[in-house]
Amino acid sequence: MLKNNPEKPSKFSTDSAKDFQKQAEEIALQRANKPPVKIEPLSPDEKLLHLHNLQVQQIELELQNEELRRIQIDLEESRERYFELYNLAPVGYCSIAESGMIIEANLTLAMLLGVNKGSLDGKPLGNYIYQEDQNIYYLHRKLLFKTGEPQICEMRMLKKDGTKFWANMEAILVKQGNGPLACRTSISDITKRKEAEQLLKYAKDELELKVAERTSELATANAYLQSFANRMVQVLEEEKKGIARDLHDQVGQSLTVLNLMINQASRQKSEKANQTLAEAQKVISDLIGQIREISLNLRPSMLDDLGLLPALTWHIERYEKRTRIKVIFNHNGLERNFTRPIAETVYRVVQEALTNVARYAAVEEVQIDAWADNSHLTIMVKDSGRGFDPAKVAGTGSFGLRGMSERLFAVGGTFKVDSEPGSGTTLQAIIPLNEDSDCNNLPAK
């Protein structure tokens, strides 16, 4: 830090020499007015010696004068370099009295504040401190003069045009000659550093927010997966109950009747026994049909043997015969061989949607639109039946809608229900496809 701030000096000239000559002449005149000093006559040799001494003294004075002249020039150049270093320093410098008034300031500080250098002298530095940071500057100066220890602080300052900038202020106490102590201060613009810190803080906050959001999403997904696993267990149990109920109600009863008929036939005469056996054969035929129906409902072999489109077509035809509900089936791009998980998901979604139509919609016609491109497979099932409130149905834990949603979730798909009481229902399922969506579902040879 600079110790003083000299004003820029003028170049050395002959004016100083003329002044010295004038002063010498005045002194000579003063001496000439004094009473003459009595001088003893000198011999020629003494005169020559005095003359020689005078000449030597004159030469010595000339050499001393030349040396002084050279020193003066060096001093002037040194002061000029010092002046330039002070004023053109990369940071602002100023000296401040204990009252807060600027004693002197360099050109860099003036440029930093957007003012003329001369206009700073005698002005309070506080005029250029941002209002909200005045207390910081006050405590900074107070501690400096109280403790005598160097002080550093950061605050916002104002340019002459009102522009704010961040400044770093470092100050020490110095003695101004024989005068009072003063505050020697350096001021540097740290706006870019502050902006970088702010951007870094913003990025950190954004990252922490995203981490928190992601953590929350993962926690939600984990809870959903746990719920999904529990639901799958419940679904399997319900399917087991359904299979057991069908076996008991249909197959079990048929077998009981068949057993009774055979026992009865064994005790009857030949003609009567033949009639009973014929009825038993009919029961056996019906029983075979029931078992085949249960098997097909569990998993149609056609889905594995021929692929998705033939299996859907076959199921729709059986559905129309059993329910007397006409199905309009529009499709495009389903001829390809999809992976087994995707084919099973589409088949089960269509199967469950049609079952819901038969149970609740009370309609004579339903429309199925299914199409696949390179990126997605989309299914829409629309009816104009009774409709329902999806929010209320979701609250009941319906296995039908929730089962479709969970099946689609397992293959990365989405499920949407659009329905209102009295306005029909539209179900939409979208499954993403990729390059691997066509392998693993080839028809068996």
Same domain, 283 and 272: yes
Among 238, 264, 298, give the residue marking a domain's end.
Answer: 298
Domain with 335 in it: 301-438
Q: Is the pLDDT of residue 184 over 60?
A: yes
- Residue 195 resides in a domain: no
Q: Is the pLDDT of residue 376 over 90?
A: yes
The Cα–Cα gap between 312 and 329 comes to: 9
Query: What is the per-residue pLDDT for 241?
Result: 66
Same domain, 162 and 254: no
Same domain, 27 and 141: no
Candidate from 106-120, 175-189, 417-431 with smallest mean pLDDT: 175-189
pLDDT tens-digit map of 356-368: 999 998 999 999 9
pLDDT tens-digit map of 263-287: 776 666 667 767 777 777 777 777 7
The Cα–Cα gap between 409 and 412 comes to: 5
- Residue 259 resides in a domain: yes
Q: Binning pLDDT at 50, 70 and 90, where does residue 296 land?
A: low
Same domain, 257 and 285: yes
Same domain, 311 and 429: yes
220, 135 Cβ separation under 8 angstroms: no
Query: What is the per-residue pLDDT for 49?
Result: 85
- Residue 396 resides in a domain: yes
pLDDT tens-digit map of 39-50: 567 788 887 888
Higher pLDDT, 348 or 21: 348
Same domain, 418 and 332: yes
Same domain, 57 and 174: no
DSSP secondary structure letter of residue 398: -
261, 272 Cβ separation under 8 angstroms: no
Same domain, 305 and 411: yes
- Residue 405 resides in a domain: yes
- Residue 197 resides in a domain: no
Q: How many domains does the chain have?
A: 4
Same domain, 401 and 274: no
Q: Is the pLDDT of residue 408 over 60?
A: yes
Whole-angstrom CA distances from 371 to 92, 234, 346 are 73, 32, 11
CATH number at residue 99: 3.30.450.20
